[in-house]
A and B are shown apart, each in its own frame.
Chain A
Amino acid sequence: MTPESFAQTEPANDIDPAALGLPTHRDAVELIMLNFGPHHPSTHGVFRIVLGLDGEEIVWAYPDIGYHHRGAEKMAERQTWHGYIPYTDRIDYLGGVISEMPYLLAVEKLCGITVPDRAQCIRVMLSEFFRITSHLLFYGTLAQDTGATSPVFYMFVDRERVYDAIQTITGARMHPAFFRIGGVAMDLPTGWDGLCATSSTGCRSGWTITRAWCCARSCSGCEPGTLPPMTRRPASNGARPERVCRPPACRSACGSFAPIRATRTTSSTCPRRRTAIASTGPGCARRRCGNPCASSANASTTCPRVRSGPTIR
C-alpha cells in the first residue's frame, strides 16, 4: 500500500447516504454519519455498520462486509486437492477442523471414497471439541460486548482445557489440518478417552444468555434465509428439527464409539493418563512438530506442542 493507492482507495470506500437512498435529514435536522467498525472492539475488526444518527437515536444502519474476505476460493485454484486442507481451517479461524469436514465430504463424494467408521468417529469428536471452543469464545465475547466483563475469563479457562485435549490428539491447537481425504492424519493417542472428562460449565450459562437473546429473532422463519441455530426452534408443523434429520457426518460413526472405547490400553484416570501422554515422546515427530523429544521423560517439557500437557480438573 503506497500513499498514492491509499489516497485512491480511501474515498472510494466512503459511504454516500444519498447515493444509497438513505435519508440525510430528519425533521430538518442533519443526521450524523458514524462508522461503527471495522475497528470498533465489538465488531472484532471484520464488520462495519455505517449509522445515521439523530442524537442518540439510530435512524438508519448500512452494513458493510468483506473486511475478513481472503479469497479462499482463488487460493484453492493454485492448490492440490490435499494441499488445500490447511486453508479450510482458516475459513472460520475459531472452527479448526470443522471447516475441513464439508470440503473433504465433497472431495470424497466426488471420488467415491468410503471413510472408515473409526476415522469418522475421530472427525466428529474433534469437530465437537472445536464447536465447544468456538462457542465458548463466542459466548464470552458476546457477554463482554454487552458490558459483562467476567464471563469471558471463565470461558477462556474452559477453552484452554479443551485445547489441551485437541493438542494431545492432533499436535496443534487452533488449526490442526488433521483430517485427510479418506480419513484422518493419525490414530488417537493412547489414553485418549481420558481427555474427554473435561467439563465446560461456562458454556451452559452462556447458552442461556444467548438463547434468551435470540428467541425473538428465531420466529422469523425462512424468509431472510436464516439457518440454525437461529432457526432451531420447536417445529411448528410436526417436522423434526433440521439437525436431527441431517446429521452432518455419518450416524453410524456414533455407533462405533463403544468398540473404540473397548480398544483402549490405559486407564482414564489422571496420573496414568499423563504417563501415557508423556510416553508419546518418540511419536512426536509423527505429530509434525519437528522438535526432537529424546526421551519420554522430558517430552512434556521440551516439546512446545505438548508443553503443558492436558490437565483434568
Chain B
Amino acid sequence: MTVDTLTPARAASPVDDPAAALRARFGPAILAEQATAEASPVLWVAPEKSPEIHRFLKDEIDRPYALLTDLWGIDETAREHRAGQPPSSVTVASHLVSPDRNADIRLKVACDADRPQLPTLAGIYPATDWYEREDFDMLGVRFDGHNSHRRILMPNDWQCHPLRKTIKRAPPKNRPAA
C-alpha cells in the first residue's frame, strides 16, 4: 500500500498551497506545521485567530474548504515526542475538506488542561455545533460564543468528562458498579 493512493496528492504549486496562503495572510497566528505521515498539511494556529482562519479557508481562499468533516479534542497530557509542536494539554483539531481541490487541511488549537477554552466555530461551519458539544461532554472544553454546553452523549447528570486521561476506570460516585 502506498500512501499516495490513500490520500489526495498535496498541491504541487505554491499558489495552491493552503499553508503558504495562511502564512501570508495570518503570519504569526500560524504557530507551527506538524510533520505527519499524511499528504495534507496539519497546522497549529493561535486560538484567538482560529475563527478568522477558518472563515478565510471557507469563504475567501481560492477553491475553498467548504466542508468541515470532523472536529475533535485530544487529551495530550500523557503524550511524548511532541518536538516542534506548541505546548498543549488539550488540543482541539478540525478537519476541513475542499471538494474542488480534492484536498484536506487539518487545524489544531492548543488549550490549557485546567480550563480548556477557545472560540466557537459554530457561526462559520454550522456542522461544528454538535462536535463542540461533544468536546465539552468528553473533555470539558469550553467554546466561547457557543449557545449550549449541554451534554450530548453522556447523561445530563454525569459527573466527569470521561475522555480526560485523569479519569480512570472507576465509575463516578452516582453510578454504583454492578
Contacts and interface: CB of A to CB of B under 8 A. Distances in A.
A12 B162 contact: no
Contacts of B13: none
Interface string A250-291: 111000000000000000000000000000000000000000
A225 B155 contact: no
Nearest to B138: A73
Interface stretch (B19-27, B49-57, B62-70): B62-70
Interface in B36-82: 37-38, 66-69
A9 B157 CA distance: 6
B154 A105 contact: no
Contacts of B151: 66
Contacts of B125: 225
Interface of A, secondary structure class, is: loop
B14 to A, nearest CB: 22
Contacts of A223: 66, 126-127
B69 A227 contact: yes
B67 A12 contact: no
Contacts of A208: none
A168 to B, nearest CB: 26
B169 A78 contact: yes
Interface string B102-119: 100000000000000000
Chain B interface residue number, banded:
35 or more
Interface in A206-254: 221-225, 227, 237, 239-240, 242, 245-247, 249-252
Nearest to B99: A239
A13 B157 CA distance: 8
B52 to A, nearest CB: 19
A250 B175 contact: no
Contact of B99 (A13, A112, A222): A222
A245 B8 contact: yes
B6 interface: yes
A83 interface: no
B100 interface: yes
Contacts of B5: 247, 250-252
B1 A74 contact: no
Nearest to B101: A239
Given A115-B1, A225-B126, A2 B155 contact: no
Interface string A50-70: 000000000000000110010
A233 to B, nearest CB: 11
A2 B163 CA distance: 25
A250 B1 contact: yes
Nearest to B169: A78
Given A108-B1, A109-B37, A73 B163 contact: yes
Interface in B134-154: 138, 148, 151-154
A134 to B, nearest CB: 21
Given A109-B6, A225-B126, 14 more contacts: A12-B157, A13-B156, A13-B157, A66-B153, A74-B163, A114-B1, A221-B66, A222-B66, A227-B67, A245-B8, A245-B102, A246-B7, A247-B5, A250-B1
Interface of A: 2, 5, 8-9, 12-13, 20, 65-66, 69, 71, 73-74, 77-78, 105, 108-110, 112, 114-115, 120, 221-225, 227, 237, 239-240, 242, 245-247, 249-252
The 3 A-B residue pairs whose C-beta atoms are closest, nearest first, are A225-B127, A12-B157, A66-B153
9 contacts: A8-B174, A77-B165, A222-B66, A223-B66, A224-B127, A239-B100, A247-B5, A250-B1, A250-B6
